[in-house]
């Protein structure tokens, strides 16, 4: 996609809401910096008048820094930050830990906080009740086992691709053992 002001590639995609209408803007680094600085100046003038509104965040990262962040990949599922930005979905629970530094500002911007305060899924409530009663929960309480299964599945696919069927069999058997533990606990 090209910048709206010139023929350079657009590296900044800005979505603004004005009076309930969505406006998408696509700029190269230079034009984005100018647009954001102009918006900050207007926001500063509004604050001086008592408006209290703050403008968009300043451009603090260069295109090289953004390209480096985009290449960062999760060791468990292999998704890159660039893939996450394009798809809008993470690959595994471990991504929240691996991309924490990059995700925290996004989550804060979208939700206004980084800690969940609303309702919780029934399985989470059931897991807490089972833990309080001293019985095993139907699913793992943390993400460690789920992340382990995702890593094992990825390893199994890689082993099959390099025709290491013995390793693939070991990964498959370990996945089955973990899943049987989960299903056995929930079926009891």
pLDDT digits (tens, 9 = 90+) for 74-110: 887 888 888 888 888 888 877 888 888 888 888 888 8
Instruction: Return d(Cα 82, Cα 120) in angstroms, integer.
Output: 30
pLDDT digits (tens, 9 = 90+) for 7-46: 888 888 888 777 667 778 888 888 888 877 776 566 555 4
- Residue 15: in which H helix or E strand, if any? strand 12-18
pLDDT at residue 159 greater than cutoff 90: yes
How many other CB atoms are found less than 10 A from the CB of residue 103?
A: 17
Placement of tokens 């911007």 in the chain: 109
**CA-based nearest residue to 33, from 1, 11, 7:** 11
Percent of the chain's residues with pLDDT above 90: 11
Give me the residue spans of the domains in the chain. 1-52, 60-118, 122-187
CA 138 to chain centre: 26
pLDDT at residue 167 greater than cutoff 70: yes
């Amino acid at each position: 996609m090209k910048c709206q002001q010139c023929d350079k590639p657009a590296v900044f995609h800005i979505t603004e809401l004005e009076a309930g209408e969505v406006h998408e803007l696509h700029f190269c680094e230079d034009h984005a910096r100018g647009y954001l600085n102009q918006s900050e100046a207007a926001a500063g003038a509004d604050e001086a008048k008592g408006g209290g509104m703050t403008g968009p965040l300043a451009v603090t990262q260069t295109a090289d820094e953004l390209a480096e962040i985009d290449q960062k990949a999760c060791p468990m599922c292999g998704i890159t930050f660039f893939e996450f930005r394009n798809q809008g979905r993470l690959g595994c629970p471990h991504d929240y830990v691996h991309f924490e530094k990059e995700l925290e500002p996004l989550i804060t911007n979208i939700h206004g906080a980084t800690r969940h305060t609303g309702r919780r899924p029934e399985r989470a409530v059931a897991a807490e009740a089972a833990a309080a009663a001293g019985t095993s929960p139907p699913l793992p309480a943390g993400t460690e086992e789920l992340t382990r299964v995702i890593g094992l599945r990825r390893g199994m696919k890689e082993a099959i691709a390099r025709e290491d069927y013995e390793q693939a069999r070991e990964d498959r058997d370990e996945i089955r053992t973990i899943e049987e533990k989960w299903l056995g606990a929930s079926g009891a």
